[in-house]
Structure 1
Amino acid sequence: MDLDLTLEDTRWGDLSPLAGRAVAAVLDHLGIAADMCEVSLLACDDVRIAELNAAFRGKATPTNVLSWPSAELASASDGGTPVLPEPDFTGEIALGDIAISYDTCAREAEAVGKGMRDHVTHLVVHGMLHLLGYDHVRDADATLMEGLEIEILGKLGLDNPYNEFAGPDGPRDLEQE
């Protein structure tokens, strides 16, 4: 697997082992050959992610994680499984880009009393699933995606993250509105 990690914020430290483990866990769970895949991860701060959020989503606020898939893999049906990515002419699968903000991740982890490493692992898994065509806009899609996150994180020894984000109206959306 080719994980291109760009650290714009030194508070992240050595994010490579954690990110590599999370990316590999998603690919393994979905039966995708990791050695064929390319992913870019930008580890930044709230200022940078707010700029990206404004430019690509029209929301000039920080968020925890953003993703830009290289290909549209989503299922047309609500709750349907996305198509698997195909290698390009070089035999590689360029999955896309993920950006993650230290500031927002740290605030969220502290707010729920969760370790930063566990929360970041969850968000990298979440971003990877977006690159692979999963989403949470429609109800059945959200159920499918959250179920996969719970299974993948469980294999990594982490608890169900949605228990910690639940409120009176149920789990809240990971990407802040």
Structure 2
Amino acid sequence: MIDLTLQQASSSEVPDASAFRVWAEAALEKPHAEVVLRIVDAEESAALNSAYRGKTGPTNVLSFPFVVPAGIPNDLLGDLVICAAVVEREAAEQGKPVEAHWAHMVVHGMLHLQGYDHIEEADAQVMENREIAILQSLGIENPYLEIQPE
């Protein structure tokens, strides 16, 4: 079970909170957690991407895991920040349903909050395989398949 707080600072059309909850719970590997999910515009995403990753421009999803001090019981996994404009643009560029891409970004971010990463090739493969399995359990195709030109 997940306690999901959805904050939307974007005027873009985004899925409803119940969809985000289903996607986040599908990726949750512990019995209970709390996550804050913030939907932002490109300007806020770019500012956060610059401040926390040293990268220019907006990005699709940023994950901010909460580090619990030793001996303190806490269910807070952390915060996810997803840029609506980037998700919509990427879905169009990749020829994917926008809702499927939203789901992928939530699953991807949730895995980051739980310690997965894709810096090293072997870790990337583990993370991608986990994403594919979770998304397939939700009826969503492998997001890493190459789009075949028509």
RMSD: 2.0
Which residue, out of 50, 56, 60, partners 1:54? 50
Q: CA deviation at 1:62?
A: 0.7
Moved more, 12-21 or 145-154: 12-21
Q: Distance in 2 between matches of 1:71 and 1:122?
A: 24
Q: Could you report, residue by residue, the CA deviation over 1:143-162 in whole angstroms, capped at 9, with x for unpaired residues? A: 00000000000000000000
Q: Could you report, residue by residue, the CA deviation over 1:48-99 in whole angstroms, capped at 9, with x for unpaired residues? A: 1001001101113111111011139xxxxxxxxxxxxx9943xx41100110
Tell me if the contact between 2:95 and 2:147 (Cα under 8 Å) persists in the aligned partners: no
The structure 1 segments of at least 4 consecutive aligned residues displaced by more than 2 Å after TM superposition are 12-15, 86-89
Report whether the alignment pairs 1:154 with 2:150.
no
Counterpart of 1:64 in structure 2 is 60
Q: CA deviation at 1:14?
A: 4.7
Of all paired residues, the percent bearing the same amino acid is 42
Counterpart of 2:5 in structure 1 is 4
The aligned length equals 146
Instruction: Summarize the alignment of residues 1-177 of structure 1 with structure 2, pairs less than 5 Å apart.
Output: 1-27=2-28, 30=29, 32-33=30-31, 36-71=32-67, 88-89=72-73, 92-164=74-146
Q: Distance in 2 between matches of 1:88 and 1:18?
A: 31
Q: Distance in 2 between matches of 1:47 and 1:15?
A: 22
For 2:12, give the aligned amino acid: R
Q: TM-score, normalised by structure 1?
A: 0.77
> 1:11 aligns to what SS in structure 2?
coil
Tell me if the contact between 1:12 and 1:43 (Cα under 8 Å) persists in the aligned partners: no
Counterpart of 1:83 in structure 2 is none
Q: CA deviation at 1:165?
A: 7.0
Q: Distance in 2 between matches of 1:50 and 1:68?
A: 15
For 2:139, give the aligned amino acid: G
Q: Give structure 2 stretches of 5+ with no counterpart.
A: none
For 2:117, give the aligned amino acid: D
Q: TM-score, normalised by structure 2?
A: 0.90
For 1:49, give the aligned amino acid: S
Q: Give structure 1 stretches of 5+ with no counterpart.
A: 73-85, 167-177
